[in-house]
Amino acid sequence: MTRSESIKEITSALMSFQGKINNVGKDAKANYGRYATLAAIQEAIRLPLQESGLVVVQMPDGINCLATLIAHISGEWIEATYEMKPTNATPQGVGSAITYQRRYALAAALNICIDDDDDGQKGSQPTQTQSEIEHEETENNVLLAVKICKTIEEINTVYMQNKSVFRNQNRLIEACSIRKKEIIG
């Protein structure tokens, strides 16, 4: 996650937004339960965002990545990017993955519920890939920590504290190098 230097105004606006947003209607059904479509989410958030002086911009960012930017009329902003690999590499599969990313990024960024809550039942069922999913989430959280570092010293600290987490340390080294170049200018 990256952000403007100050987030005082945008935080206040997000609090205002939270007070204005109604429940998002879950207008579709999948094998795991009911959920809100992207259209339903956009319909529910559009006016409360405008009334709060906020706008959300989402766009593909590189291969399989989506950037979500929340901007405030004051110029303050918060942005996060994450990657999701489509299960099917056809144009339709990539489009589905982008739509899925957009729904979940909006929900997470704006703190709104878009799915039925199963009290963690599906997520707590052990599967062969559950630890791999958790490991990837940990790696992604470390990469996000690198992205928000403000100094090279902070980057070095994050690297030293987390290098053992990475199966492929090149991913972490590359992220640290890119962020250092951004800081140095």
Q: Which of 81, 93, 84, 106 is nearest to 17 (CA)?
A: 106
Residue 128 confidence class, pLDDT cut points 50, 70, 90: very low
- Whose tokens are 């706008």? That residue is 55
Q: Which helix (H) or strand (E) holds 86?
A: none
Q: What is the pLDDT of residue 31?
A: 62
Give me the helices (H) in 36-129, please. 38-51, 91-110, 121-124
Q: Are 134 and 96 within 8 A, CB to CB?
A: no
pLDDT tens-digit readout, 12-25: 999 999 999 877 87
Q: Give the angle subtended at the CA of 130 by the CAs of 129 and 133, to the nearest 5°.
A: 85
Residue 147 near residue 175, CB atoms below 8 Å: yes
Chain centroid to Cα 155, Å, comes to 21
pTM: 0.61
As a whole number, mean pLDDT of residues 84-105 equals 83
Provide the percentage of residues in the chain whose pLDDT is more than 70.
83
Separation of alpha carbons 53 and 73, rounded Å = 5
